[in-house]
Amino acid sequence: MKELRVGIFGLGRGGAFVGNSINNGGKIVAFCEKREDQLFGLKEMYGEDTGVYTDFDEFIHHPGLDVVFIANFFNEHAACAIKALELGINVISECLSNVTMAEAVALVRAQQKSSALYQMLENYPYNVDTQEIARVYKNGTLGKALYCEGEYNHSIAKNGPANETNYMRKYHEHWRNHTPRTYYITHSIGPLMYITGATPKKVSAMPVYYPEGDDMFGPDVRDRAAIITTLNDDDSVFRVTGCSGFGGDCSGWRICCDKGQMETVRGSERHVALHYSKAFVPEGLEEHNTYKAVWNDPDEEKIKVASHEGSDFIAVRDCFDAIRGIKEPVFDVYRATTMSSVAILGHRSILNGCIPYDIPDFHNEEDLKKYENDHDTPFYDSFGGKPTIPASSR
């Protein structure tokens, strides 16, 4: 297995990629984080020649980087990913790949010119229960997916006391105070795209307006969820929530097919429910089955100690395998920017009376041209940029 020389940008979420890279044949050679206290002791831990930077432009020129994890602020990934691609460095980006349509175009064009590979890392398809749904769907007994649901819910309870929540949101301009519900989409839609292979072609969305109380996205985001519907290239329909802030800390994914349906069981310890029409029950199964999903993976020992209940390990493994040329990338630049288009145009739908928008196909020059100057954003950025559209429906 070829060793990959890894750099990590952003040491909040980015910290999770250290062990998962090492366990997948990576060597950590550089870190970049502007909070200097987070850099303390890294040279002692990873070797004197480890690059420790507070400035991205210096970090990205660290000698011999094969791959960088982009885990800085949610709304500032694309420009950094583009710089890495221009230098021929493989990119694994946290969600979302981009927060404006113009950034999507720039990212696709950078990928088209680069010798390196862009991938967005989305870990929810790699939970043990969504992996089990993917396995059953692939074996064909359920038939074809017609309608699927994805709900990623991050209740206030998950973060505990308000001071911890405030730590996540840090200050008024921080991205978590300005993230429209549709924008945090990858955890709800990613598993559905992964399981079924379908690509959204049209989106519309409705807000769940509830300005009371407080949750992860802060009082400026006055909707508690976005109910997003996509019509897909294979005629299936998805209904997803983006990131909802409902009470009760549980999420769920469901696929409905012509011969049966399958879903994760909310609040269980990763159980799944599998239902067949009487005429299509496979040998050895019942019409209705509920069971605990298990890994069945040769790397189970590494999965067991990995963050996010093991899903981060497999997500990194798939990304590294694609860089090594062993596997096709799961969320390449086209699938990543499709997701971001659902997020951005879904919010645009909410702001414009819930009308539908076509999702561009960025393989086509015409669609790239259409959006290359579309810079609308609900975010503040670190360079003085201010929101041009609201983050909430009202």
The residue ranges that bind ligand NAD (CB under 6 A) are 10-13, 32-35, 54, 56, 71-74, 94-95, 123, 308
Q: Considering the complex, state which of residue 167 and residue 209 has its C-beta at the smaller distance from ligand NAD.
A: 167
Distance of alpha carbon 245 from alpha carbon 247, whole angstroms:
7
Q: How far is the CB of 13 from ligand NAD (least distance, A)?
A: 3
Closest CA to 21 of 301, 325, 318, 294: 318
Q: What is the nearest approach in angstroms of ligand NAD to the Cβ of residue 315?
A: 8
* Alpha-carbon dihedral angle through residues 172, 161, 13, 392, given to the nearest 10 degrees: -40
Least distance CB 87 / ligand NAD (angstroms): 17
Q: Which residue minimizes CB distance to ligand NAD?
A: 12
In terms of CB distance, is 35 or 363 closer to ligand NAD? Answer: 35
Which tokens go with 166?
């405030």
CB of 96 vs ligand NAD, minimal distance in Å: 7
Residue 35 or residue 369: which is nearer to ligand NAD going by CB? 35
Q: Which residues, 6 or more positions from 92, have their beta carbon under 8 angstroms from its beta carbon?
A: 17, 67, 68, 69, 70, 119, 120, 121, 316, 319
Quick one: 113 or 170, whose CB is closer to ligand NAD? 170
Whether residue 96 has a cis bond before it, omega within 30° of 0: yes
For residues 229 and 206, what is the distance between their CA atoms, to the nearest angstrom? 9
**Is the Cβ of residue 10 or residue 245 nearer to ligand NAD in the bound state?**
10
Neighbours of 387 (CB within 10 A): 15
Closer to ligand NAD at the Cβ: 95 or 110? 95
In whole angstroms, the minimum distance from the beta carbon of 55 to ligand NAD comes to: 7
Q: Which long-range contacts (CB under 8 A, 24 or more apart) does 75-83 make?
A: 75/99, 75/175, 75/178, 75/179, 75/377, 75/379, 75/381, 76/381, 76/382, 78/103, 78/104, 78/106, 78/107, 79/103, 80/9, 80/56, 81/107, 81/110, 81/118, 82/106, 82/107, 82/110, 83/56, 83/57
In angstroms, rounded to a whole number, what is the distance separating the alpha carbons of residues 105 and 367?
9
Of 159 and 349, which CB lies nearer to ligand NAD in the complex structure? Answer: 159
Q: Which residue has the tokens 């990873």?
A: 46
End-to-end CA distance of the chain: 52
Residues in the chain: 394
User: What CA dihedral angle connects 34, 7, 173 and 213, to 10 degrees?
Assistant: -120
Residue 129, token pair as written in the block: 């229960």
